[in-house]
Every structure is written in C-alpha cells, then in structure tokens.
C-alpha cells in the first residue's frame, strides 16, 4: 500500500506538471479566438477548450495517450501493426539499430580485451 501511494503521488505530480504548462501555453490561442469572436472566457472554459484543441502546442496527457493507442494498439488490433504509419514499425527500426550497435560494441570490446590480455606490447601501450 505504501509503494502504491508513492507511485500515485509521482504519477499525479508528473501529470500536474505537464497539464499546467500545457494549458498556459495553449491559452493564447483560445483567448485569441475568443477575442476575434467578441467573447470573454472564464478559466474553466479556457481549460476545457485546451483539452479539446485539435493541434495544441504541447498536447495534454490524454491526447498523447490517445495518439499512442491509435498508432499502436488500434493498428495492431486491425492487423496493421507493421505498416509504415505504426509506431511499432518505427520502434522496431530504432530497436534493431540499437541492438546492432550494442552487439558491434560488445564484440569490439571483447576483442580488444583479449588482445590486451594476450599481447604484452598492447598491454603496456594502452594500460596506464
């Protein structure tokens, strides 16, 4: 229970630190549109409008979650998990390059270590 409370506290803090500036940074657009229409808006209306904007500058957490679902889970359920519009496809591209780089680096490190251990001249030239 204690760890659950700590996790919820961290998650709610992150959401608060994310949502507050997101509303503040997108309020200018809402206020501009209201001024053009000759209306005055309350804080509640500004927050509500920000949560529904099509293309906000920094999106709200629920908008990010919806887009992640749309580009991963929903596409996987429809059978399009590896289409070029899927985040899974692009994630696999990044992961495969990362794993290849790790494998090459590990191989080079192991070969260099073996060379240092078995060659006295190499040991003296690279070791302090």
pLDDT of amino acid 59: 86
pLDDT per position as a tens digit, 31-88: 888 888 888 888 888 888 877 788 888 888 888 899 899 999 899 999 888 888 889 9
pLDDT of amino acid 62: 85
Tokens of 41: 């808006």
Tokens of 36: 């053009």
CB atoms within 10 A of CB 75: 19
pLDDT per position as a tens digit, 101-119: 999 999 999 999 999 999 9
Instruction: Parse the chain into domains and list their residue ranges.
Output: 1-58, 72-128
Pairwise CA distance, residues 34 & 15, whole Å: 27
Tokens of 106: 């590990």
């Amino acid at each position: 229970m204690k760890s659950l409370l700590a996790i919820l506290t961290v998650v709610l803090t992150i959401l608060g630190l994310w949502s507050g500036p997101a509303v503040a940074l997108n309020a200018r657009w809402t206020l501009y549109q209201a001024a053009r229409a000759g209306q005055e808006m309350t804080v509640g209306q500004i927050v509500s409008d920000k949560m529904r904007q099509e293309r906000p500058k920094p999106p709200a957490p629920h908008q990010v979650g919806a887009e992640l679902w749309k580009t991963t889970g929903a596409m996987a359920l429809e059978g399009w998990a590896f289409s070029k519009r899927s985040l899974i496809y692009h994630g696999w591209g990044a992961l495969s390059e990362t794993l290849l780089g790790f494998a090459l680096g590990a191989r080079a490190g192991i070969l260099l270590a073996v060379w240092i251990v078995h060659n006295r001249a190499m040991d003296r030239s690279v070791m302090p």
